[in-house]
Amino acid sequence: MPGLYRVRSPRFRFPADIASLRTELFNAFRRGIVCAILRHLVTCPVDPVSFIRRLPKAELHLHLEGTVTPETLVELSARHDSSPLDLSQAAALFQYTDFSGFLLAFKAITEHLRTPDDYELAAWRMAQRLARQGVVHAEVYVSVGVVYYWRRCEFEPLFLGMERARLRAESELGLTIYWIFDAVRHFGPEEAARVFRKAAELRPRYPSIIGIGIGGDERRTGAEPFRDLYAEARAAGLRLTAHAGETVGPEGIWGALNIGAERLGHALSAIHDPELMGILAERQIPLEICVSSNLRTGCCPRPEDHPLRRYFDAGLMVTLNSDDPALFLSDLDNEYRIAQDTFAFTQEHLRELASNSIEASFLPAERRVEILRRLESLE
């Protein structure tokens, strides 16, 4: 095991008289105990942080733009702006006080991603951070909807930058990445159609485009207007996800299920609807839970109100995710640590959450089985 070393005892020398023999024996005994304790500490794999890090796991709810840190934003700004942002100006863009403010911050950050090289840089930095956390596979949302709506520019050239980073991540870090094209629901179905149709058009050439989703503000637009578009995307071979029940009640989750969403982002409000809880448990619909996100946007007021543990205990298919780590000052490792420290998940529970993330991924069955085997045998 890496990091192990032998604990050596000092040599025992035979003493000249009985009193010093007793002292020597006592010291040897004491050293023995100390050594045994040290050996235990060194060899016993109880360190929960390293256990979390060593868990092979998938991140299933992560927005590329939300991984851009203030430091990277400074670099991006230096590339393009006539008066570039300094670090404190960049950090100021990450400030918000509620969910609407968060969406504006997300937009401000996305506006600094302008060229294929920018997208490549963001995606490569994201991949490096994921690999450091023991993430072996990520399904990453990219806000194609924001690019189209606010910038009116072609997405494919930008996508090629992301692809360069993805291929590099696979060969250099052993990390696989799938892309999910995300539309902004409150821009309406016509804008979403551009996003989903672009995903369908590009997918045959770039099979890393695995699915589509809708983010944005559910309070302004529910799931129903996207019903036909979801059917069309499914027919094009795309997998269907949706942010649901993040800022609205259980009706938002019913809506997403009704239009065929296979995996749900947040699903925070299901806890208020026992019938829905029953359906989610019975159908084992994967939930992309994002605790830090919910607390920081104010969608969930206090940790003790978060339904994560109750979902898990009710047998729901729960996965942990970081959503927009640079905006929520978290990462996937930290989400597992929160589960452990705040929600009393044991090491075996954490292993189950990691297994769920692999099972709920859109990876082919053989790769899922291979990772699940590694997960099972991890000590």
In 3D space, the residue among 3, 1, 23, 2 whose CA is nearest the CA of residue 13 turns out to be 23
What's the rounded Cα separation, in Å, for the pair 86 and 113?
16
Q: What number of other Cβ atoms are within 10 A of residue 219's Cβ?
A: 13
User: Closest separation between CB of residue 379 and ligand HPA, Å?
Assistant: 35
User: Closest separation between CB of residue 66 and ligand HPA, Å?
Assistant: 6
Stretch that binds Zn ion, among 16-24, 323-331, 334-342, 360-368 (CB under 5 A): 323-331
Beta strands in the chain (DSSP E): 57-63, 135-142, 176-184, 209-215, 239-244, 263-266, 287-289, 318-320
Task: Write out the residues near ligand HPA by the rule CB under 6 A.
Answer: 63, 66, 106, 215-216, 243, 246, 293, 323-324
Using CB under 5 A as the binding criterion, the count of chain residues that bind Zn ion stands at 1
User: Closest separation between CB of residue 62 and Zn ion, Å?
Assistant: 8
Under a CB-based contact definition with an 8 Å cutoff, are residues 195 and 157 in contact?
no
Residue 368 near which of Zn ion, ligand HPA, none (CB within 5-8 Å, type-dependent)? none
Nearest residue to ligand HPA on Cβ basis: 215
Q: Nearer Cβ to ligand HPA, position 262 or 323? A: 323
Q: Nearer Cβ to ligand HPA, position 51 or 178? A: 178
Catalytic residue among 246, 262, 288, 335: 246
User: Closest separation between CB of residue 45 and Zn ion, Å?
Assistant: 33
x/- letters, 281..320, toward Zn ion (CB under 5 A): ----------------------------------------
Residue 246 near which of ligand HPA, Zn ion, none (CB within 5-8 Å, type-dependent)? ligand HPA
Amino acid residing at 230: Y
Q: Nearer Cβ to ligand HPA, position 261 or 371? A: 261
Q: Would you call 246 a catalytic residue per the annotation?
A: yes
Q: Nearer Cβ to Zn ion, position 140 or 316? A: 140
Q: Nearer Cβ to ligand HPA, position 64 or 339? A: 64
Segment 30 to 59, residues that bind Zn ion, using CB under 5 A: none
What's the rounded Cα separation, in Å, for the pair 195 and 216?
14
Locate 297 and state its tokens: 């946007």
Q: How far is CA 268 from the centre of its chain?
A: 16
Residue 150 burial by Cβ neighbours in a 10 Å radius (0-12, 13-18, 19+)? middle
Q: Nearer Cβ to Zn ion, position 202 or 327? A: 327
Q: Which residue has the tokens 């918000």?
A: 96
Under a CB-based contact definition with an 8 Å cutoff, are residues 374 and 57 in contact?
no
Residue 51 near which of ligand HPA, Zn ion, none (CB within 5-8 Å, type-dependent)? none
Residue 331 near which of Zn ion, ligand HPA, none (CB within 5-8 Å, type-dependent)? none
Give backbone dihedrals phi and psi of 138, rounded to 5 degrees, phi first: -135, 140
Helical packing angle, 189-202 and 227-235, nearest 10°: 0
User: Closest separation between CB of residue 63 and ligand HPA, Å?
Assistant: 5
User: Closest separation between CB of residue 218 and ligand HPA, Å?
Assistant: 8
| 3-state secondary structure labels for all residues of 10-66 | CCCCCCCCHHHHHHHHHHHHHHHHHHHHHHHHHHCCCCHHHHHHHCCEEEEEEEHHH
In 3D space, the residue among 212, 305, 200 whose CA is nearest the CA of residue 260 turns out to be 212
User: Closest separation between CB of residue 39 and ligand HPA, Å?
Assistant: 46
Q: Nearer Cβ to Zn ion, position 199 or 371? A: 199
139 binds Zn ion (CB under 5 A): no
* Candidate list 323, 331, 333, 335; residue touching Zn ion; CB under 5 A: 323
Contact footprint for Zn ion (CB under 5 A): 323
Catalytically active residues are: 246
